[in-house]
Amino acid sequence: MKQLPNGFGLEWTAMSYQERLSGAQAPALYAISLLVVFLCLAALYESWSVPFS
């Protein structure tokens, strides 16, 4: 790859930057959503083991 002249640079901007940030947060959000669903089912069935079945 060629070097850019002095004073020039590359960086993520606008939508690309936002997509990169939100993509990094997706696994944590999936984990939290699974935990919330499990807790709701455990409260509904009043049992910790029933939501797994």
Q: How many CB atoms lie within 10 A of CB 42?
A: 15
Could you read off the pLDDT of 25-47 as tens digits, one per residue?
A: 889 999 999 999 999 999 999 99
| 50 touches 41 (CB < 8 A) | yes
- 21 or 7: whose pLDDT is higher? 7
Residue 1 pLDDT? 59
| Whole-prediction pTM | 0.60
d(CA 45, CA 43): 6
Does the pLDDT value for residue 10 go beyond 80? yes
Structure tokens at 12: 């993520």
Question: Taking Cα atoms as reference points, which of 37, 2, 30, 35 lies closest to residue 45?
Answer: 37
